[in-house]
Amino acid sequence: MTRILNRTSQHGALFSSESRGNEQFTIQTPPGEVFHSSRLTILETHLGAVISITSQPAPGASGDLTVVTAWNCKGSAMVKYQLEAFSVPSLDSPSAGNGSPTRQMTDFLPSVHGFHYDNLFESVPPLKLIGDLRYGDASKGLCGGMVYAALDYFMAGLDIPLIPKEEISTRFGTPLHGVIFDYLGKRLFTSFDVPTGVWNYIELMQPKYPDFQSRKPGLGLAPRSRAWRMVRQEWPVIKARLDSGQPCPLGLICVKSTDLSKLGENHQVMAYGYDLIGDDLTLFIYDPNFHDNNDMTLKLNIQDPEHATPVTYSGPQTVYCFFHTDYTFTMPPGTTTVPGRIILFEDENYCGRSIDVIHANPDLGTFKEGNFDDRTSSFVILSGKWSFYRQPGFEAPFMHAGTPLVLGPGSYGHVTDFGVQDNDLSSLKEAANLTIGNP
């Protein structure tokens, strides 16, 4: 399958002169391919705005084609959307069961990149505080820690480590203490994203919070419901991350209660791909409760979040809602004894916003403090040797004399003077085994 159209458009707003209209998109099928289908994703909608595809080519059409959308934004309403179109080789029939063109998978695979044991631990405190002081009870589960840690190892290009025999629980085959156990505890706490993330669980598990809700007549206000949250707010964010090749951790609401002691009955998983057939969405997930299982999914119909939108989970729990969590990369333990450190600045001569990176960052667009992708104009390397990349995931390295550019400690007030293009940096990592270049 080939994506032959990927456009984002917006209509309506407070001072818009038009309340409704059509938008036409021209596409061209590649040589030897024919049109398969198009897909509309609503990214934002306010005050009752609506958008739909009113005309598209018949499956099997080729050449110069047109897709038309119709939008209606009464008053101050606004809608922002993404339109995609897909083609297939001309010898394939679009209805021959070759899979949906909207299927998008990252390189993460649970049986390869996930932990090779279930989320079952002994009743020992996982969170290391100060010295020998510890907190928590691992027997209640470390799902968030396992999800975040697995994604850390994946992003760093490292294999999940083996547990030393002396650190293994004989009952569960999971770590009982040691470096990996401590890291899972640390990442578990991070996954809670206190206080914002915890509030998401508290809010969405409230029994009075509606599963679905329609707009009030005449107001056009966005419904406040679990269905609206999943379809209109969370799905566009999750889709954008998966489309960029980045897995996306999710919080699952598995209980409705005002009893905060039941917060632990919720769950955390990671979406690593999706499939969309019509309005039926399937999220492929790494579930730490089911190790090495590539068949775990969340399914729902995203057609109308103003009506009941049940979630089908392949696990045993009921899932009432899900939301993305604010994951940021952390270098896994044991990779180096002295961490490399670099400070990136948004403007030349060390001005503007800055971020501090330890070891590596595979996607500068994932910082909680704000997107830093393609925003770097100067930096200071405090320690380590560093390589730099134009794309997330350490792809498309900046080059010098035919080899990847590597820079060592020093101040770089204008990145263009040293082989890195201005506002073109998407990922970077410590490159201890490479030779430093001298642009």
pLDDT tens for 243-259 read: 877 899 999 999 999 99
List of residues 6+ apart from 401 with CB closer than 8 A: 437
| pLDDT at residue number 335 | 56
Q: Tens digits of per-residue pLDDT, 106-138?
A: 989 999 999 999 999 999 999 988 878 888 999
Q: Tens digits of per-residue pLDDT, 6-30?
A: 999 999 876 666 688 999 999 999 9
Q: How far apart are CA 172 and CA 336, in angstroms?
A: 29
Q: Is 101 a residue whose pLDDT tops 80?
A: no
Q: CB of 15 within 8 A of CB of 98?
A: no
Q: Is 369 a residue whose pLDDT tops 80?
A: no
175: exposed, middle or buried (C-beta count within 10 Å: 0-12, 13-18, 19+)? Answer: buried
Which one of 102-106, 206-210, 409-413 scores highest in mean pLDDT? 206-210
pLDDT band at 368 (very low <50, low <70, confident <90, very high): low
What end-to-end distance do the CA atoms of the chain give, in Å? Answer: 41
* Tokens coding 54: 């009113």
DSSP-assigned letter for residue 91: T
Q: From 3.90.1150.10, 3.20.20.70, 2.60.20.10, 1.10.10.10, which CATH number describes the 341-430 domain?
A: 2.60.20.10
Just give the CATH number of 2-88.
2.60.40
Structural domain boundaries of the chain?
A: 2-88, 102-333, 341-430
* Tokens coding 165: 């025999």
Percent of the chain with pLDDT strictly greater than 70:
91
pLDDT band at 277 (very low <50, low <70, confident <90, very high): confident
Residue with tokens 């489309």: 243
What value does the mean pLDDT take over residues 287-314?
A: 96
What value does the mean pLDDT take over residues 181-190?
A: 96
Name the pTM for this structure: 0.80
Q: How far apart are CA 203 and CA 425, in angstroms?
A: 37
Q: CB of 412 within 8 A of CB of 347?
A: no
What value does the mean pLDDT take over residues 236-242?
A: 90
| pLDDT at residue number 435 | 44
pLDDT band at 260 (very low <50, low <70, confident <90, very high): very high
What value does the mean pLDDT take over residues 372-377?
A: 92
When the pLDDT of each residue in the chain is averaged and rounded to a whole number, the result is 88
Query: Cα 249 vs. chain centroid, distance in angstroms?
Result: 7
pLDDT band at 430 (very low <50, low <70, confident <90, very high): confident
Q: Is 97 a residue whose pLDDT tops 90?
A: no
